[in-house]
């Protein structure tokens, strides 16, 4: 996930991906380019991937406390961190407009 996030957050990598997609479409006999995702869509996905890998204050607190807890509670912390990251991904998707595009 970290590698995907780093690739999607780098503008030069996004340009290379878009150029590669355009080259592949032009080799397919000149089909319409409507299937090529534009750079803004890719950047939106990059922001969402970045939201999953970033820790907020609550996540950092839980991860800092984790070594001091029992095994059972460490598992609960792991689940809570996953939930917090999913909420962050949902909020990033909502802010970028992807959620509105789906519904």
pLDDT digits (tens, 9 = 90+) for 21-73: 666 666 555 455 455 556 667 767 777 777 777 788 999 999 999 999 999 99
Question: Which residue, 13, 36, 54, sits at the end of a domain?
Answer: 54
Over residues 76-90, mean pLDDT: 90
pLDDT value of position 94: 84
Who's near 5: CB < 8 A, 6+ residues apart?
46, 49, 50, 52, 53
Contact 14, 42 (CB under 8 A): yes
Most confident of 16-20, 78-82, 91-95: 78-82
- Same domain flag for 1 and 50: yes
**pLDDT score of 89 more than 80:** yes
Determine the angle formed by the axes of helices 11-27 and 2-9, rounding to 10 degrees: 90
Residues 67, 46, single domain; the answer is no
Give the pair of three-digit tokens for residue 45: 């996905």
Give dist(CA 79, CA 28) in Å, integer. Answer: 45
Task: Say if residue 46 is in the same domain as residue 60.
Answer: no
pLDDT digits (tens, 9 = 90+) for 9-25: 666 766 776 666 666 66
- Cα–chain center distance at 103: 19
How many structural domains compose the chain? 2
Same-domain check for residues 19 and 42: yes
**Does one domain contain both 43 and 92?**
no
């Amino acid at each position: 996930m970290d590698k995907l996030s780093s690739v999607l957050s780098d503008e030069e990598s996004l340009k290379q991906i878009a150029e590669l997609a355009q080259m592949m479409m032009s080799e397919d006999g000149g089909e319409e380019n409507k299937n090529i995702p534009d750079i803004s869509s890719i950047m939106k996905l990059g922001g969402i991937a970045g939201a999953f890998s970033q820790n907020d204050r609550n996540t950092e607190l839980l991860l800092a406390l984790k070594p001091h807890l029992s095994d059972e509670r460490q598992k609960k912390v792991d689940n809570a961190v996953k939930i917090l990251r999913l909420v962050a991904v949902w909020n990033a998707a909502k802010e970028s407009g992807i959620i509105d595009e789906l519904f």
